[in-house]
Structure 1
Amino acid sequence: MKFFDAKDIDELQKIYKINLINSCSGFKSANLLGSISNEGIMNVAVFSSVTHLGSNPPTLGFILRPTTVPRDTYKNIKETGIFTINHIWEDIIEDAHHTSAKYPEEVSEFEMTGLEPEFKGNFKAPFVKNAPVQMSMKFIEEIYVPSNDVLLIVAEIQELFVKNELLEEDGFINLAKGKVATINGLDGYSIPNLKNRFSYQRPKVNPKKS
């Protein structure tokens, strides 16, 4: 087994270190965040840091790298207070990844890819059409993390759209049925299969498959 101590990691070549540390935490969520500026310019960008924070209220969070360079998603969220989260699925992986390219603020990634915007009801931020899971989000707060100079953005789910075939009777969303992607590191995409679900665990009780 390859071993790295703190000194080894600190002295690694930049790109090697970025790849190593971004992939050592395991598979991450793969989402497209849709937003819109006050001027009506749509933005869509891939994020691998969206995570569950709580169910009551239903909140999710994601990490933003330092805002010392332009971050259109962040700017739009702060201007409008809203955005969407859309799960990436197998058919759009290449286009989804391309949204990480740094286009000028006035250029919409929807125009530079095969991704299509979709609007639902009165919500002003764009969803990604045909995404198996879509969420409209309301910005709640940002928390600065000084050790890495990053922001944790906290938002509350306002609306949740799930394709019928993914939703099971107990509320579980079977993402494997929608061929939803995960991200390994910065640029590795996988389509996982669901192997097992287990019952609620109690001490000294053998796990039961559901």
Structure 2
Amino acid sequence: MQFFNITDILNLNKIYKINLINSCSGFKSANLLGSISDNGIYNVAVFSSVTHLGSNPPTLGFILRPTTVPRDTYKNIKETGIFTINHIWEDSIEDAHHTSAKYPKEISEFNMTNLEPEFKGKFKAPFVKNSPVQMSMKFIEEIYVSSNDVILIVAQIQELYINDELLEEDGLINLSKGNIATINGLDTYAIPKFKKRLSYQRPKDLNKIS
């Protein structure tokens, strides 16, 4: 087994260190965030840091890297207060990954890929058409993490759209039925498959353990 202490990690080649630390936490969510600027330009960008924060109210968060360079998603969210989260699925992986390319702010990634914007109801930010799980989000707050110079964006789910075949009777969204992707590190994609679902666990009777 390979071993790295903190000194080893800090002294690693930059690219090797980025790959190592971005993958050591395990598989991450793979999502496309859709947003719109004040002047009506649509943006869509891949994020691997979306995570559950709470169910009541339904709240998600994601991490933004330092804003010392332009971050169109961040700028749009701060201007409009809204955005969408769309799960990446198997057939969309290459186009989804290409949204990480640095285009000028006046260029929409929708125009540079085969991804298509979709609009639902009165929500102004674009969803990604054919994504099996789509959410409209309202910005709640941002939390600055000074130790790494990143921002945690906290947002509340306003609307949730799920393909019928993914939704189980008890509310579980069975992502494997939608061939929904996950990200390993920065640039490696996988399609997880359902293995086993386990029941709610209670403590064992300690008196029966010898």
Q: Aligned residue for 1:140?
A: 140
In structure 1, the residue matched to 2:198 is 198
Q: What corresponds to 1:88 in structure 2? A: 88
Please list every run of at least 4 consecutive aligned residues from structure 1 whose deviation after the TM superposition is greater than 6 angstroms. Answer: none
Q: Counterpart amino acid of 2:154? A: V
The answer for the alignment partner of 1:99 in structure 2 is: 99
Q: Which amino acid aligns with 1:100?
A: S
Query: Which amino acid in the other structure matches residue 30 of structure 2?
Result: A
Deviation per residue, 1:23-43 (Å, 9 max, x gap) = 000000000000000100000
Partner of 2:208: none
TM-score by length of 2: 0.97
**Partner residue in 2 for 1:126:** 126
Cα displacement (A) at 1:200: 0.6
Q: 1:172 corresponds to which residue?
A: 172
The alignment-based identity, stated in percent, is 83
Report SS of the residue matched to 1:157. Answer: strand
**CA displacement, residues 148-185 of structure 1 (integer Å, 9 cap, x when unaligned):** 00000000000000000000000000000000000000
Distance across 2 between alignment mates of 1:201 and 1:165: 27
Partner of 2:39: 39
- The aligned residue for residue 20 of structure 2 is 20
TM-score, with normalisation over the residues of structure 1?
0.97
Structure 1 residue aligned with 2:51: 51
Q: Distance in 2 between matches of 1:197 and 1:82?
A: 34
How far off its partner does 1:3 sit? Answer: 0.3
| Offset, 1:103 | 0.3
Q: Report how far residue 84 of structure 1 moved.
A: 0.1
How big is the shift at 1:83? 0.1
1:19 is paired with a residue whose SS is: helix
Q: Distance in 2 between matches of 1:72 and 1:60?
A: 20
What is the alpha-carbon distance in structure 1 between the residues aligned to residue 147 and residue 102 of structure 2? 25
Task: Tell me which amino acid in the other structure corresponds to 2:120.
Answer: K
SS in 2 for 1:77: helix
Distance 1:10 1:124 in 2: 44
Q: 2: CA distance between counterparts of 1:37 and 1:31?
A: 19
Deviation at 1:15, TM superposition (A): 0.2
Distance (whole Å) between structure 1 residues aligned to residue 199 and residue 7 of structure 2: 43
Q: What secondary structure, in the 3-state scheme, does the structure 2 residue paired with 1:192 have?
A: coil
Unaligned runs of 5+ in 2: 206-210
Give, as a single letter, the amino acid of the residue that structure 1 aligns with 2:67: T
Instruction: Please report how far the alpha carbon of residue 21 of structure 1 lies from its aligned counterpart in structure 2 after TM superposition.
Output: 0.2
1:11 aligns with 2:11: yes
Alpha-carbon distance between aligned partners in 2 of 1:86 and 1:143, rounded to the nearest angstrom: 23
Q: Tell me the SS of whatever aligns to 1:95.
A: helix
